[in-house]
Chain A
Amino acid sequence: MELDIIRDEEMDLLLEDVSSIYGYDFSQYSKASLKRRLNRICLVDKFASFAELRYRVISDKNYLQRFVEEITVNVTEMFRDPLFYKKLRNDILPKLGTYPFIRIWVAGCSTGEEAYSIAILLQEINLYHKALIYATDINPTVIEKASKGIFPLSVMKQYSENYIHADGQKDFSSYYTSMYDVVKFQEDLNSRILFSTHNLVSDTSFNEFQLILCRNVLIYFDKDLQNKVFNLFDNSLQTLGYLALGDKETIRFSSLEKRYKQSKGHKIYQKMT
């Protein structure tokens, strides 16, 4: 299936177009991953050449949304890395419970599975009523999906297993209603989640949080862009607040390293000063 019709110069050209015409700057994204995505989009949308793709992107404003959706990776799961959620449930969230009000930012939330997982945890430890979850993503299409809270039935078995491994005690299916091949999560679960678009590359800090999750987003950014985003998070985090990254991501190469304390065995970092 691997087709390889895109050369580096062409890719750079296209990214420049997208940046100057639409204001989406992908120039500091991982080239290896971008190239795969661009080849994929040519395959899926049946562009015979790179020139065709470029023409479509430049000339069709409505196509841009699809372009952004396809070149960013949206794969996500509920309770992905169960041990991470277990740590949140048993340690991090209860600590935040001592605040009068808990603000959480899920940056790069994709279709919302992560945000719903956090809402479930908060509900189960009786903190949801005083929490607010801001769930943001660059891609308007996934944000719209996320706000509906409708997911395929076929993935519920996996999510339910993850939930149990994350110390979930309830019957997972009590959180949703099945409708044919999809399920809808209970209305009250997203009652305290605010979904909106936010671009980590170009948008600024918009609030102060006690917990920021940004998981499996930074792997697509080069080191300089990562550092920029780390500074954005630093500016958006209260002292003693937590930053949670994906299982394979690290702040080790950033200027935050010295001021943040890592939870042993987890990619969770607490801001000390």
Chain B
Amino acid sequence: MSRETKVVLIGGSAGSIPVLLQVLPDIRSDLHFSIIIILHRKSYPKSSLNQLFESITTLNVLEVEDKTELVNGTIYLVPADYHLLFEDDKSIALDASEKINYSRPSIDVTFESAARIFNSNVVALLLSGGSQDGVEGLKNIIQHGGKVFIQDPNTAEVDYMPKQALEQIPEVEQLAPEQMSHFINNLK
């Protein structure tokens, strides 16, 4: 199986939006993969996070809907109150089942599904947050041969989530926010 990146998954909770606002403007629009952002957020009031992201990047930003198909060079935002899964044909399925780790969307759910479908072609990045969510998913991605990274806990507004990851996956690589866009732009 080729090592070429097909999807980049970015999971975050408290304190992760400022990081994305810093990183997204410098992302190239001719990427050969899609970026999927899974953030913990409130379902009400309806947020306009996708408009906010749209205003700072040249890439297309879409809030995922039922049966959305992945297009390279596009940023997909998982909607509040749904989990995002991947089908065998690599299309997207939304799922409104139980919260996992008190969260819907749950970062673990998408990470684990991506690991199963995209195997070694996944790159995942876990940002700032005060939750456990995401760590199991990172382990899963490693098991399937994908690559995982965390935000350097020293740079995280809320370091619990990346620290949990570091504790359970000591070899995980760390990125400071200012390194992230360069890193993403240069993925093979």
Contact = CB atoms under 8 A, between A and B. Distances in A.
Interface in B92-136: 93-98, 100, 108-109, 112-113, 116, 136
A37 B109 CA distance: 12
Interface stretch (A26-34, A59-67, A180-188, A203-211): A26-34
A135 to B, nearest CB: 18
A238 B70 CA distance: 36
B65 interface: yes
Interface in A182-239: 216, 218-220, 223
A81 B79 CA distance: 12
A225 to B, nearest CB: 12
Contacts of A103: none
Contacts, number: 69
A73 interface: yes
B93 A219 contact: yes
A241 B43 CA distance: 28
Interface residues of B, number: 29
A219 B83 CA distance: 11
Nearest to B80: A247
A250 B85 contact: no
Which of B65, B66, B94, B109 has most A Cβ within 10 Å? B66
Contacts of B171: none
Nearest to B87: A32
B64 interface: yes
Q: What interface size band does chain A fall in?
A: 20 to 34
B97 A248 contact: no
Contact of A216 (B45, B86, B96): B96
B96 A219 contact: yes
B146 to A, nearest CB: 15
A165 B45 CA distance: 9
Contacts of B66: 218-219, 246, 248-250
B96 A2 contact: no
A41 to B, nearest CB: 12
Contacts of A132: none
A32 B67 contact: no
Interface of B: 43-46, 64-67, 79, 81-82, 85-88, 93-98, 100, 108-109, 112-113, 116, 136, 140
Which 8 A-B pairs give the minimum distances between C-beta atoms? A32-B85, A73-B97, A30-B93, A32-B93, A248-B65, A219-B66, A216-B96, A33-B95
